[in-house]
Amino acid sequence: MSVLSGKKILLGISAGIAAYKAANLVRLFIKSGADVQVVMTPDAKEFVTPLTLSTLSKNPVYSSFYNEEDENAMWNNHVDLGIWADLMIIAPVTANTLSKMANGSCDNLLLATYLSAKCPVYFAPAMDLDMYKHSSTKSSISKLTSYGNICIPATSGELASGLEGEGRLAEPEDILKFIEKDLCSKLPLRGKKILITAGPTYEAIDPVRFIGNHSSGKMGFEMAKAAANLGAEVKLISGPSSQKINHSFVHRIDVTNAEDMYLACHEHYDNVDVAICSAAVADYKPANLSTQKIKKKGSNLTLELIPTKDILASLGAHKKKQLLVGFALETNNERENATEKLKRKNLDLIVLNSLNDHGAGFALDTNKITIIDKNLNLQNFELKSKAAVAKDIIQVVIKELHA
């Protein structure tokens, strides 16, 4: 899967013959898992139809501030479009649009949206040879890059005029590769390997019954996604969970019980930079596993339980270069118990959440955490969605890696 998967891409198209390539570019973005919204200059519709682009993007195409055919329709808000996008790509950029962007002119919806964009902006020039070499064009490109915009250079080849030379729009496949490479180079966890455990473990009593807990795995899966989105190669070791993840940087390893998880963790631990143990691993398992279903006989059933292997403590004992992060779900004496666990298991960070906090705990979409480091510094976070909490945790991990 591409690093563009899940990204919201605003594709701007200006009026040049190379606009015909925009259809293939939309298709490639969609194939990469992105959500694409197209904004065209009015004259760009002479080169490629909005119908084609809306069909490929599965979104309406905008080219003006309002719908001329429906006076009661809502206006097309350039500010909302600019805020919505994770990335804006303008391809092709004609000499005219390039100059207007560089000088802050704003006479159409595409330019207004560009000026409202809060995300990285890539632009791919396309024009004839003499226009591309003109000092005003070079000045516009230089000015735009000085603003923080990213130029996807034009290539050499046959031009619409019949001349050969620079000015040809980069091919859609090359535009895609350029953006992916640029994004990857800026990801703070690029080149890092992270192990994350998630979900519950099921400790079998007999072929149909088990001892488990209410963990859904949501927190671990959100951390895996957050880390992967920042460039990390993630080994996600999950107990039984209905959570789904589809990311090329995440390798999911499914396990069932504490022993399985212990073995999987130790198999990969030596090769990772960070291990985050968020799984709710059973502390005990039945001493004897019945090979047949235990029948109800009307009398009490007594089970002998024995301790499972302590995965977190074993990782702490074998720690070398790894940053080790544990979780503590507490119901009383929360900070004292979490701090004691941090020291006893040789952790670098521990994430504390309390069942006494409203909105925190198992099977919820929210969490409220406190992170304690090995120097006993505390960071308190407000109640947030688990996706937002995952990002907070990963940002603390990044800070520790660069400390």
How far, in Å, CA of 278 to CA of 324, rounded?
A: 11
Which tokens is 198 given? 């998630």
How far, in Å, CA of 54 to CA of 33, rounded?
A: 16
CA-based nearest residue to 258, from 318, 209, 292, 211: 211
Helix boundaries (H) for 216-369: 218-229, 258-268, 311-317, 334-344
213 is catalytic: yes
**Catalytic residue chosen out of the listed positions 24, 67, 213, 346:** 213
CA-based nearest residue to 323, from 189, 187, 195: 195
How far, in Å, CA of 57 to CA of 34, rounded?
A: 10
- Within 8 A by CB and 6+ apart from 76, the residues are 62, 64, 65, 66, 67, 109
How far, in Å, CA of 386 to CA of 378, rounded?
A: 19
Which tokens is 265 given? 């963790």
How far, in Å, CA of 403 to CA of 349, rounded?
A: 13
- Please report which helix (H) or strand (E) contains residue 181, including its range: helix 172-185
Q: Are 402 and 396 in contact (CB under 8 A)?
A: no
CA-based nearest residue to 91, from 31, 27, 175: 175
Give the active site residues: 213
